Amino acid sequence: MQYTRLGNCGLIVSRLGLGMMSYGNTSRRAWHLAEEGAEPIVRRAVEAGVTLFDTADMYDRGASEEVTGRLLAKLFDDRDDYVLATKVYYPMSEKPGDRGLSRKHILASVDASLRRLGTDHIDLYQIHRWDDETPIEETMEALDAVVRAGKVRYLGASSMYAWQFAKAQYTATLAGGTRFVAMQNHYNLIYREEEREMIPLCLDQGVGVLPYSPLARGLLAGGRARGGERTTTRSGTDPLADALYTEADFDIIDTLRTVASELGLPPAQTALAWLLGKEGVSAPIVGATRLTHLQDAVAALDVTLSPEQVERLEADYRPHPVAGSQQPALRHQRPVFRRTS
């Protein structure tokens, strides 16, 4: 395993992070794994030297955090030997205030996450999305408070516009508060819009980049074929992938398969090697529901693509509408409350 500092901060993380979204309640999604199914994969990640584990409170409404906490406590002797990351923002119930980035929700959510994770601190606490309905000053003050209280060590953000991220950082600086040290954004060989503004901003400000969907929700690993054929359980029940990626993206996949074949490697391994070689990337967050998924990811660390191979992989890229940065505003998800008298 290779290790790196997260941006310019002092936190050291493995060059791969294991995404824990797939572990939790199997009744919610057919491709999820229960704790007993997840344990061999997490154990192998620990044996391979992975130290960064990423979850969120909304993954299975807390079930992922519970599984994550139990497995890491079982597989590590010392709490300081791994970096535990989770997130806050999405609804955790149908209650009107149980969502967003208000001071109230952040302070309640961090305590709830700590209980589910079975720990006294979170190493990297990330805002899952931007909250249009809460002043950023309130959000940054609340996040600074949980750091000062010792419940959180570092702050991170995920998927937003670059101007929003810059505003949040400036707001924290102006108040003498805690800034974000990491950006977890949507970035892979098929979706590279983050290279326009967000990644240059992160490089300039010394912020680490933790790309999610490094294999484009399985597309770069062969989860779909031209014409819409699905080859995995997840791809058959993942409408978001249809919205994010198009038929034209298969030109890149064809080239990926050719380059991978020349190298004698699986396409997934080659796509991850491309991402690991991009400037600013600290650690892609890799999901794994099979041991082979994890093995491909770890093996990608030892692959160095030539400039000519990188140029071929990037040649067929087509710009995409900005996606993965803005989800529907929470006000559109909230129930309608009517007076009863």
* Region of 291 on the Ramachandran plot (φ > 0 left; ψ -120 to 50 alpha; else beta): alpha
- Which one, of 288, 274, 251, 249, lies nearest residue 188 by Cα? 274
- Which one, of 161, 216, 152, lies nearest residue 183 by Cα? 161
Which of 59, 82, 187, 191 is labelled catalytic?
Answer: 59
Question: CB neighbours of 283 closer than 8 A, spacing ≥ 6?
Answer: 4, 6, 13, 14, 15, 16, 17, 52, 208, 210
Q: CB of 171 within 8 A of CB of 136? A: yes
**Among this protein's residues, is 161 annotated catalytic?**
no
Taking the C-alpha atoms of residue 51 and residue 25, their distance in angstroms, rounded to an integer, is 24
Provide the 10 A C-beta neighbour count for residue 164: 18
Question: What letter represents residue 258's amino acid?
Answer: T
Token readout for 46 is: 């620990």
Taking the C-alpha atoms of residue 7 and residue 282, their distance in angstroms, rounded to an integer, is 7
Q: CB of 158 within 8 A of CB of 187? A: no
Provide the 10 A C-beta neighbour count for residue 9: 17
In this structure, what is the dihedral angle of CA atoms 27, 31, 37, 39, given to the nearest 10 degrees? -110
Q: What is the CA radius of gyration of the chain?
A: 20
Taking the C-alpha atoms of residue 49 and residue 82, their distance in angstroms, rounded to an integer, is 10
The full DSSP string for 198-261 is HHHHHHHHT-EE--B-TTTTTGGGTSB-GGG-B-STTGGG-HHHHHH--GGGHHHHHHHHHHHH
Residues known to be catalytic: 59
